[in-house]
């Protein structure tokens, strides 16, 4: 498939066992509902208070400042949510407004979270302690000459934030060597996971593919040739499994419909009911923005 723009790095729902299909993620979500969307700054500007509120089951922190303005103002940027509150408005009234705007607030906070995560990926130094997204979850690189081989503390498909990828290298290893070992490991995980998911959707559709090929094109997340060869961009392994599933289902549908007509999208929806949600996530990132690991 030729991808217009981009794919979200950190969509929501947790992914079940590989033999199962992912549960439907809440519309408009982009990162895990448990993700920390707002972090309290070490220092606050003078006259600003730190407050917290539960929005749709998620605890959100925000900076509250009193203002001479006549109406409540909401600002969301890389620093999180800031609420400018007129002096005559009670905090309880402000929280009522926050609840009424909860969908917009959470969506914007998640968008900024995605941008922060993308920036973190692009600024990798390939040193001990670096963080990179793996299947939609930040994991840490660890260099340890005592380990005999590459070891990941998590389980494929059940990743938890902060789990380490341990490389059998000295702590002061050359970044290029760290990058090479990490890339080899990521490609191996991508091959294993993509093969499982491809087989799942082939079984579901009753279709057959002749071959799965992994590559890293700058303009595509995947493609399907008329001979039945499916190509998947191995860097999709950075993304949440539910998004990987959408791309796989998309390419499987092309085995039957080599177009993007109504029958194609009907088949995609049969294979992956939440394709609209995932397709919207595609607009957030494009393969060319990921570092060439």
User: Which domains does the chain carry?
Assistant: 1-33+175-293 (3.30.2010.10), 36-123 (no CATH)
- Secondary structure of residue 212 in the 3-state scheme: strand
Phi, psi at residue 222, to the nearest 5°? Answer: -170, 170
Check: CB of residue 233 under 8 Å from CB of residue 215. Answer: yes
Q: What is the pLDDT of the chain when averaged over all its residues? A: 81
Q: How many CB atoms lie within 10 A of CB 18?
A: 15
| pLDDT at residue 107 greater than cutoff 90 | no
| pLDDT at residue 260 greater than cutoff 70 | yes
Rg (C-alpha) for the chain, rounded Å, is 22
Task: Quote the pLDDT of residue 263.
Answer: 97
Tokens 């593919």 correspond to what residue? 209
Query: Quick one: pLDDT band at residue 196, thresholds 50, 70, 90?
Result: very high
Does this model's pTM top 0.85? no
Least confident of 110-124, 204-218, 245-259: 110-124
Is the model more confident about 116 or about 135? 135
Report the DSSP beta bridge partners of residue 138: 133
Task: Please give the average per-residue pLDDT across 56-82, as a whole number.
Answer: 85
Query: Quick one: pLDDT band at residue 47, thresholds 50, 70, 90?
Result: confident
Cα separation, 130 vs 125, in Å, equals 7
| pLDDT at residue 252 greater than cutoff 60 | yes
Task: Quote the pLDDT of residue 114.
Answer: 67
Exposure letters 229-250 (e unless 16+ CB within 10 A, then b): ebbbbbbbbbbbbbbbbbbbbb
List CB contacts of 243: < 8 A, sequence separation 6 or more.
Answer: 7, 8, 11, 136, 236, 278, 281
| pLDDT at residue 270 greater than cutoff 70 | yes
List CB contacts of 18: < 8 A, sequence separation 6 or more.
Answer: 157, 193, 196, 197, 200
Cα separation, 220 vs 198, in Å, equals 17
| pLDDT at residue 33 greater than cutoff 80 | no
| pLDDT at residue 26 greater than cutoff 50 | no
Query: Quick one: pLDDT band at residue 243, thresholds 50, 70, 90?
Result: confident
Check: CB of residue 89 under 8 Å from CB of residue 65. Answer: no
Check: CB of residue 278 under 8 Å from CB of residue 246. Answer: yes
Least confident of 3-12, 137-146, 229-238, 273-282: 3-12
* Residue 57 token pair: 């089951």
Cα separation, 124 vs 293, in Å, equals 10
CA dihedral 164→168→169→174, nearest 10 degrees, is: -80
- Secondary structure of residue 181 in the 3-state scheme: helix
Task: Please give the average per-residue pLDDT across 18-47, as a whole number.
Answer: 51
Query: Quick one: pLDDT band at residue 77, thresholds 50, 70, 90?
Result: confident
Cα separation, 134 vs 136, in Å, equals 5
Phi, psi at residue 147, to the nearest 5°? Answer: -80, 145
Cα separation, 293 vs 176, in Å, equals 10
Cα separation, 289 vs 272, in Å, equals 26
Burial of residue 66 (CB within 10 Å: 0-12, 13-18, 19+) is middle
């Amino acid at each position: 498939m030729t991808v217009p723009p981009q794919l979200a790095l950190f969509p929501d729902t947790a992914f079940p066992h590989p033999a199962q299909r992912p549960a439907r993620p809440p519309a408009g979500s982009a990162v895990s509902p448990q993700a920390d969307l707002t972090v309290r700054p070490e220092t606050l500007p003078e006259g600003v208070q730190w407050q917290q509120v539960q929005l749709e089951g998620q605890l959100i922190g925000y900076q509250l400042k009193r203002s001479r303005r006549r109406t409540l103002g909401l600002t969301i940027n890389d620093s999180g949510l800031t609420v400018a509150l007129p002096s005559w408005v009670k905090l309880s009234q402000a929280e009522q407004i926050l609840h009424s705007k909860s969908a917009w607030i959470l969506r914007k906070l998640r968008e900024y979270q995605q941008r922060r995560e993308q920036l973190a990926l692009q600024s990798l130094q390939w040193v001990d302690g670096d963080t990179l997204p793996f299947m939609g979850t930040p994991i840490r690189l660890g260099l340890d000459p005592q380990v005999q081989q590459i070891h990941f503390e998590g389980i494929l498909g059940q990743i938890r934030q902060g789990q380490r990828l341990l490389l059998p290298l000295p702590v002061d290893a050359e970044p290029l060597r760290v990058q090479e070992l990490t890339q080899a490991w990521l490609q191996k995980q991508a091959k294993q996971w993509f093969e499982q998911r491809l087989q799942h959707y082939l079984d579901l559709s009753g279709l057959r593919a002749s071959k799965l090929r992994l590559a890293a094109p700058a303009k595509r997340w995947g493609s399907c040739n008329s001979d039945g060869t499916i190509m998947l961009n191995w860097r999709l392994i950075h993304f949440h499994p539910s998004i990987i599933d959408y791309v796989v289902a998309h390419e499987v549908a092309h085995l039957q419909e080599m177009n993007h007509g109504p029958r194609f999208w009907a088949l995609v929806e049969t294979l992956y009911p939440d394709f609209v949600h995932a397709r919207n996530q595609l607009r957030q990132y494009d393969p060319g923005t990921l570092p060439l690991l």
